[in-house]
Structure 1
Amino acid sequence: MTDATIAEDALLSLATRALVAGGMREYEAALAARVLVLADLFGLSTHGISRVPQYLGRVKVGGIDAAADVQVARVMPALAMVDGRNGIGPLVGMKALEAALEGARACGIGAAFARGSNHFGPIAPYAMIAAEQGFATLIASNATTTIAPWGGKDTRIGNNPIGIGVPNPGGDPVLLDMALSVAARAKIRSLAASGQPMPEGWATDAEGRPTTDPKAALAGFLLPVGGHKGYGLAVMVDLLAGLLSGASYLTRVSAWDKAPEVAQDLGHVFIAIDATKLAPVEVLRARMADFIDIIHTTPHSDPARPVLLPGEREMQLLHRQRATGVRVAGADLVKLRELAGDAERG
């Protein structure tokens, strides 16, 4: 089935109705849908509305509670603990983001640690929502184990995402959103299906030995970005997002694809900084403009590939798709309409 194009507001409404039909309250479904639709606007389709059937499939088998009453406890003026109660991940993420922003509004900096969660989508949507309100953020989550500790040959660490967002008054924020493996397993599966070799440094075989055979890699482990440094970063993310939040960590995290009926108990950390408390808006605007200019005026090593800031390509795509419509897989759109109960609208 070919791709389809749909207006942002129509996609947001459709995703919201699908989540409501799956058991979520409407206001909370809209919060979760906002994260997923923003993911598609950024071109992050693997973490966008295509996840709705996965989430609701786990709801049906008891792995996620669509009606979970997410609990937020403010333990200090700047610090909150969020109990996701095994709810839909993007809802837990949005509740944690709101709690971190509330702390930052009161104290200049705020943090929220969430437990009892599930896959919460990509980080970029949360960072953008915060940046649009003048907040810088550091956001991270733990994940199902796919990476072996450096020098080991058994998966003990998740491909834990981490992101940083910085607001830019009057312009696009600068957003970094990255997982900690060199390459995604989806890319390796594609190479295996086509019979093509895999670039060196992406993964190891089951014995922990470097390989360029994608089939051997699928039976092995993803390699962390930056070697032992990426491994160290993945460990520290799990300590912050998993251990300190009270969530599961390392091999204690349940793999949703192997046991969809079991609660994952993922953990997230959201740290927000009110940038308006650090400098007047006009000062921050001028400094960001100068910073961006220094990057953009870097001489090109390849004239066909201009120097860009982290997340800039995704921001450009977001602007285009807001003007012309969001491009999604036709099959994903059909499934979403079925879940929303309006497949007849085609």
Structure 2
Amino acid sequence: MKTRSLMPLGGSEQSSGYKGYGISAMVEVLCGITAGSKYGHHIRTWKITNTSSEAANLGQTFIVMDPNHFAPGFKERVSESLTYWRKMEPVNPKLPVIAPGDMERLVGEKTDREGTITYVKRIIEITKKLAKELKVKPLKELPIKK
């Protein structure tokens, strides 16, 4: 069989409804299975009040792509999409709609402004343990600014 054309993700317009499932499966394979970490039903339940001592063991995969090798106008189309998403009606009227990268940008701005990096408690504990094992000075902790 010779490939004659590349179909859009999910197939034709009439059958493209399953592409979300395919993307989800792709993320599980790349970030969980390929990375050797937990995946799918093996991941512990996440709750904001979780008190489990079990490590999440979530994997990551990084893929680098040059958008210039695809359709033209990438920056303009992404910019238009981000603007559209941010203008959507929020679920909670007190909170803005955010797009991918917004939280990281805000944290980066806070880091630049305050000159410090905020870490979650577990990372601080891990670095203290590592510093002790390596017999080096641990990271200096500063009180959290409110």
TM-score, normalization: structure 1?
A: 0.24
TM-score, normalization: structure 2?
A: 0.48
Greater RCO, CA 8 A, separation 6+: 1
- Which has more strand, going by share of residues? 1
